[in-house]
Structure 1
Amino acid sequence: MTPSSLKSCFKLGGWLAILTIAVLSLVPGEMRPHTLSVSQLEHVIAYAITGALLAAGYPILNQRILVVAGLTCYAGILEIIQLWVPGRTSKIIDLVAGASGALAGVLLVLALQSWLFRTAEHRPAPLSSKLRG
């Protein structure tokens, strides 16, 4: 898989995650599946995965800043819309959990890329290049 197609896969995954968050956030309360006992942890994980996928798909720093800002606004908008969804409540702590997750996901990708870059710098040159030189 080429770097370009891999980047496209991350972008697609991120946008599908955004759609999934909307569906799970806006269905009536009794229809929503609960996977963890603490709903804020669900928010952190969902937004961290989304943030990481989008950060991997949009590698420029300004784009990553927009990912965090955009997901934070998105979480806020969804919380406001939940005021009109039967069986749902809107909580500031859920917005904070979503924003924290988005930031954590982007920072995770930054840390992973930094680690991979340092590892590649210290990797010994292939034997074929040593034989030529």
Structure 2
Amino acid sequence: MSLTSRSLPRIALMLVLALVILSMIVPSSALDFLRFEYGWVDRMMVLLFTISPGADLDHLIAFGLLGFMAPFGWPRGRSWQVALSLLSIATIVEFVQLWIPGREAAVSHALLDVIGGMAGFAFAWVLGYAWGGKGLPEEAASR
């Protein structure tokens, strides 16, 4: 089995998806261990909390990265399909967090996940359009 240039973005998307899900469902005791064991993790978390206290930037950033990778790993995915996928992933993650010690499930987190993911998706689309790799979506071009 050889890796083609089309399969690498899909693999990268799946890896980002796995990392995002893992980061959202890991128990808080594991996060505390990582903060204690690796100083850069602690500094990153302190930076996020300093920039926006109480705003849960981790959700926006994690799903923003996932949304950014979506057009590359899923090039035929429409924006509504990406939004529905992000909403499904966010809902499942928040539902699973009900049973994870130290984690807090909230509808607002799922909304932040979808907003961050769609912002990342839009940013990737704008970059692709600016570099000439993508045209206008069919809906906008037909108007």
Q: Same fold (TM over 0.5)?
A: yes
1:78 matched residue in structure 2: 93
How many residues of Structure 1 are paired with residues of Structure 2 in the alignment? 113
CA contact (8 A) 1:72 1:102 kept: no
Q: Secondary structure at the match of 1:90?
A: coil
Could you tell me which amino acid in structure 2 is paired with residue 81 of structure 1? V
For normalisation by structure 1, the TM-score amounts to: 0.75
Give CA deviations for 1:75-109 in whole Å, capped at 9, x if unaligned: 11110110111111101221111101110111111
CA distance in 2, matches of 1:48, 1:105: 4
1:59 matched residue in structure 2: 75
Tell me which of 57, 61, 65 is aligned to 1:41: 57
CA distance in 2, matches of 1:22, 1:8: 21
Gaps of 5+ in 2: 35-41, 134-143
CA contact (8 A) 2:20 2:66 kept: no
1:89 matched residue in structure 2: 104
Gaps of 5+ in 1: 119-133
Tell me which of 117, 121, 124 is aligned to 1:106: 121
CA distance in 2, matches of 1:56, 1:93: 28
For normalisation by structure 2, the TM-score amounts to: 0.70
- Tell me: CA distance 1:78–1:87, structure 2 relative to 1, closer, same or farther (3 Å): same
Moved over 6 A (4+): none
Q: Secondary structure at the match of 1:87?
A: coil
CA distance in 2, matches of 1:61, 1:16: 18
Would you say 1:14 and 2:13 are equivalent positions?
A: yes
Q: Percent identity?
A: 25
